[in-house]
Structure 1
Amino acid sequence: MPKITYPLRNECPPGACVCERERLLAEPYADLRPLRLTRMEEQRLIERIERISDYADLKRVQELIKVHLGADLRIEPGPNEVKTVRGIIIVLEERPGLCRKVRQSVPAAVRRCLERNPEIIYRLLDAHDLFGSV
């Protein structure tokens, strides 16, 4: 087992999560980036998401999540007509080591951000070909 020199997320209560933390720690060359997201770092991430002010900033945060956690944050219009923020699909990709609570709290923070900044939703819809090919 490799020596870990940075803090890791505390273990979830048995049966409460499917993050496979122990299996991941047992693998010699496993990607431990998701485990580096401690509860304090999760709070910082949520605060950062809630400070997003425009579409470009949202894309930067998506890229940072990909780099630091190794997981994709998908934000796209749903298959039906988008009338509210609830019509937007927001999913943090499931990865070994990424806690179920994180996979719920990050999309919830993005949804709150979008509700406060509807102009981001318009840019998101436009980026996903809202008007179709003309």
Structure 2
Amino acid sequence: MNASLPIRQSCPPGLCDCQLETLVHAPGADLRVLRLTRVEEQRLLERLERVASLDDLERIQQRMHDQLGIRTRIAPGYNEVRSMRGIDIEVAAQPGLCRKTRQAIVRAIRRGLQHNPELAYQLLNAHDLLRGT
């Protein structure tokens, strides 16, 4: 017996750039992102907010890519980093991934960095910005 996996509901037409309908009908398309249901999205966001270390954050990023195809990039911004806003967090746009979901992932990572400032220092150090301090 084949149990069908729950898939993400489509966004209202014209309100989102997720292109879910074209993704579902495209042959050979990467459908992993459809596994990110509303409940799973909330679990992911909560997990991103509770990140404990840079290794933990990198592990979550890798699992997001492996399981859902979501690519994230977290790095210090081009200007000075005076607050958590100076850290660039990008979630790559992809078919099936809603704009609001991408923004929620960025906000959750930023909240995780704010709750754990030591993580931000580890991130800066990983990019060799605190070399002499």
TM-score, normalized by the shorter chain, greater than 0.5: yes
Match of 1:22 in 2: 21
TM-superposed CA distance for 1:28, in Å, is: 2.3
The aligned counterpart of 1:12 is 11
Report the 3-state secondary structure (helix = DSSP H, G, I; strand = E; otherwise coil) of the residue aligned with 2:27: coil
Give the CA RMSD over aligned residues: 1.7
Q: Secondary structure at the match of 2:57?
A: helix
Give the match for residue 88 of structure 1: 87
What residue in structure 1 maps to residue 104 of structure 2?
A: 105
Task: Report the TM-score, using the length of structure 1 for normalisation.
Answer: 0.92
- The residue identity in structure 2 corresponding to 1:99 is C
1:96-124 deviation line (CA, Å, top 9, x unaligned): 11111110000100000100101000010
- Contact 2:125 2:131 (C-alpha < 8 Å) held by counterparts: no
Q: Secondary structure at the match of 1:23?
A: helix
Distance of 1:93 and 1:42 partners within structure 2: 16
1:62 is aligned with what amino acid? Q
After superposing on structure 2, the runs of 4+ consecutive aligned residues of structure 1 that deviate more than 6 Å are none
| Counterpart code for 2:33 | P
Alignment of 1:19-58 (within 5 A): 19-58=18-57
Q: How many residues were matched structurally?
A: 131
- Taking only the aligned residue pairs, the percentage that are identical comes to 52
Encode CA deviations 1:47-105: one digit per residue, 9 max, x unaligned.
Answer: 11111111111111111111112121111000001000000001111111111111000
Distance (whole Å) between structure 1 residues aligned to residue 131 and residue 57 of structure 2: 23
Counterpart-to-counterpart distance in 1, 2:11 and 2:41: 14
User: 2: distance between equivalents of 1:124 and 1:16?
Assistant: 35
Question: Which structure 1 residue ranges, 5 or more long, are not aligned?
Answer: none
SS in 1 for 2:66: helix
Which whole-Å CA distance do the structure 2 matches of 1:124 and 1:51 have between them? Answer: 16
Q: What is residue 115 of structure 1 aligned with on the other side?
A: 114
After TM superposition, give the deviation of residue 131 of structure 1 in Å: 4.1
